[in-house]
Every structure is written in C-alpha cells, then in structure tokens.
Amino acid sequence: MSSKIDAGLELISALGALELKTIEIRDLLYKLISKDYNTIDEILETAQKEKLLQRTEKTYLMTPEASSLQFEKPKIIKQEESSTCRYCRKKLSTGYYLVFKSHTYGPYGSSCIRKMYLDHLL
C-alpha cells in the first residue's frame, strides 16, 4: 500500500467520532492527507475492505475494528511558532502537528485540531 493510503487509514483509526457525514470524512482526508480525489476514494474503499468503516446512505460509521487497528495512534505535538494553519489558513502563534509513524502533518490551530475529531489525542 502507498504511504498516503497508510496515512489515511491511520487517521481513520485515530478519529474520535463514531459517525461522520461523507463530506466530513472526505474533507478531513482532503485537508490532511491528499488533494487527489482518486487517493481519497482509494483510502475510503480500503477502509471499508479492512472493515474500519461501514458506509450507510449518508454517513460512514466507525467500526469497533477501527480502534484496534495495528497502526500506532498518531501523536499531536504543540510548537510555539509563527505560521499559517494548513486547515483554515489563519495565522498561528502556536502550531499543532499530527505525527504519524510515516509522516508529520501541520501546522494546525487548536480549534482546527478539534474540528478534525482528534481532540481526544490532545
């Protein structure tokens, strides 16, 4: 599997939500993992094949297997810096980075980290 697919699966396994609308999960993957819609589709298809997600008409349900995935849970690190949020493009004085085993994504503001359903990692 490609590193983007792995990163997407790691992200899905770390989400604190039980259910997300299709637009919400696609938006998270777009803003965090890849701007390529084919890659996003591949991540979602792989997550369903691996039984991490179950798709309903309008939502994706996180399955119990998602929390027991063999990926390491990502960490969130906080860093004082002058930068721009990768999610909303606002100026930051404190950046939060999402650290996966293979990649680090960020910086993000504190409110954007919460919008990503990852505040349980803070």
Strand partners, 96: 78, 108
- What is the reported pTM? 0.78
Distances (CA, A) of 12 to 19, 33, 64, 83, 93: 11, 11, 12, 26, 28
**Left, alpha or beta for 108 (phi > 0: left; psi -120 to 50: alpha)?**
beta
What does the pLDDT average to over 95-105? 85
Of the listed ranges 21-25, 50-54, 63-67, the least confidently predicted one is 63-67
Q: Where in the sequence is the domain holding 111, given as residue range(s)?
A: 75-121
- Check whether residue 97 and residue 63 sit in a common domain: no
Question: What is the domain-level CATH number for residue 40?
Answer: 1.10.10.10
Nearest residue to 8 (alpha-carbon basis) of 54, 56, 40, 48: 40
Of the listed ranges 24-38, 41-55, 58-72, 106-120, the least confidently predicted one is 58-72
- Check whether residue 35 and residue 15 sit in a common domain: yes
